[in-house]
Amino acid sequence: KMSEGNFTSPLYSIFIINKSGGLIFHKDLVQRKVRLTSNSYLQIAGVFHGMYAITSQLAPTKEVSSGIKTLEADCMKLYCFQSVTGTKFIVTTEPNRNDVEINEFLSQLYSLYANYVLKNPFYDLEQPIHNCDKFQINLNSLIENMFSVSL
Amino acid sequence: GMSRYNTNLQQVANNTWNKIDKINTELFTLTYGAIVVQLLKDFDSVDDVNNQLEKMGYNIGLRLIDEFLARSGLGRCRDLRETAEVIAKVGFKMFLGFAGTVLKMNAKKGSFHLVLEDNPLIDFVELPAQYKDTLIYNNILCGVIRGALEMVQMKVKCTVKKCPLKGHDVTQIKVVLIEHLTSEIPVGDEF
């Protein structure tokens, strides 16, 4: 089953979710066995946003706990970074990936977002990222440089 | 205690400053001046211009905060004092090129003053008599602070208390915390 997918990139997908749980950016770097519709992606983002909150609430600690930072499955690992402003940056990768490296990637992704999306005066805050070519180009460069893939 | 914390912020400020691209401040000063003059032509009252400048600043602040957080690597401030110090030492340095200082810190009242000795916005500017008492030339800064802090769930009100264009020796902005927007704090985070 696995061989039907195209997994040449160690990085599988990238998601950016706004502070209300709306998906504003999504990029697949590998071909999925089962194609998902754009609505499915929106739903997935919304559910993840909820799960992130539940995880935080379920934590048995006295201090406030963060939500999901990593999530592991047989075939993939998911990493999530939430900014102080409430935007979530999520990547899925092949399993057994180096945490430090991926967290660094998330940090760079946040920088790219702050630079090429937010600073674009024609970008509407909290809305899906359209027409931010510089963001896409620089993101591709970042992925190519960090993971030695060609896009 | 406080002095070691301040040195730490100093380091963050310097590291961030070294990372970012620099432009000629003159272009920045002239561009801002052109905007103010144009607004004075477009709007009937000076009050309207002051509001427009604050609004512009607010929209900038909403966008600038993530850039600030991403570049500086700083997380959520623990209290209002830390917020004040971070804006003055790191924020001002990063975006205006000059660090400021915090005065009249009052945690109980939830207010503080930010003081800038050097302010690139007002270089070469002289206010004509008709605007001296009414135009708040620096009002864009008030908006930027308000917008930026709102995105980290703090509702504040900012007013310019002193300005060299009005004969004072420094630029001074008073920031008052109206409320923490607790319902907006991202889940899994705390203030």
Does residue A71 register a pLDDT over 80?
yes
A100–chain B nearest CA distance, Å: 16
B128–chain A nearest CA distance, Å: 32
* Average confidence (pLDDT) over A59-76: 91
- DSSP line for chain B: -HHHHHHHHHHHHHHHHHHS----HHHHHHHHHHHHHHHHHH-SSHHHHHHHHHHHHHHHHHHHHHHHHHHH-----SSHHHHHHHIIIIIHHHHHSS--EEEEEETTTTEEEEEES--GGGTT----HHHHTT--TTHHHHHHHHHHHHHTTEEEEEEEEE-GGGT-SSEEEEEEEEEE-GGGSPTT---
Residue B29: the pLDDT is: 93
Does residue B6 register a pLDDT over 80?
no
CA atoms within 13 A on the CB side of A18: 15
How far apart CA A66 and CA A57 sit, in angstroms, is 9
Residue A91: the pLDDT is: 97
Does residue A3 register a pLDDT over 50?
no
* Average confidence (pLDDT) over A77-96: 96
Q: Tell me which chain B residues have a C-beta less than 8 angstroms from the C-beta of A67.
A: 187-188
Q: Which residue has the higher pLDDT, B27 or B142?
A: B142
How far apart CA A87 and CA B67 sit, in angstroms, is 13
Residue B112: the pLDDT is: 98
A58 and chain B: CB distance < 8 Å anywhere? no
Q: Tell me which chain B residues have a C-beta less than 8 angstroms from the C-beta of A84.
A: 69, 75-76, 152, 186, 189
CB A39 within 8 A of CB B160: no
B189–chain A nearest CA distance, Å: 6
Q: How many residue pairs from chains A and B have C-beta atoms closer than 8 A?
A: 65
* Average confidence (pLDDT) over A11-15: 95
pLDDT tens per residue across span B49-69: 999 999 999 999 999 999 999
How far apart CA B148 and CA B37 sit, in angstroms, is 25
What is the interface pTM, i.e. ipTM, of the complex? 0.89
How far apart CA A131 and CA A123 sit, in angstroms, is 8
Instruction: Name the residue among B139, B127, B147 with its Cα closest to residue B53.
Output: B139
Strand bridging mode B101-106 / B154-162: unpaired
The verdict on a CB contact (< 8 Å) between A52 and B67 is: no
Order of strands, sheet of B111-116, starting from the edge strand that comes earlier in the sequence: B101-106, B111-116, B171-180, B154-162
Residue A2: the pLDDT is: 41
Rg from Cα positions in chain B: 17
Does residue B25 register a pLDDT over 90?
no
Residue B1: the pLDDT is: 52
Kindly report the average pLDDT of chain A as a whole number.
91
Does residue B89 register a pLDDT over 60?
yes
A85 alpha carbon, distance to own chain's centre: 16
Q: Which of A52, A84, A119 is opposite residue B75, by nearest beta carbon?
A: A84
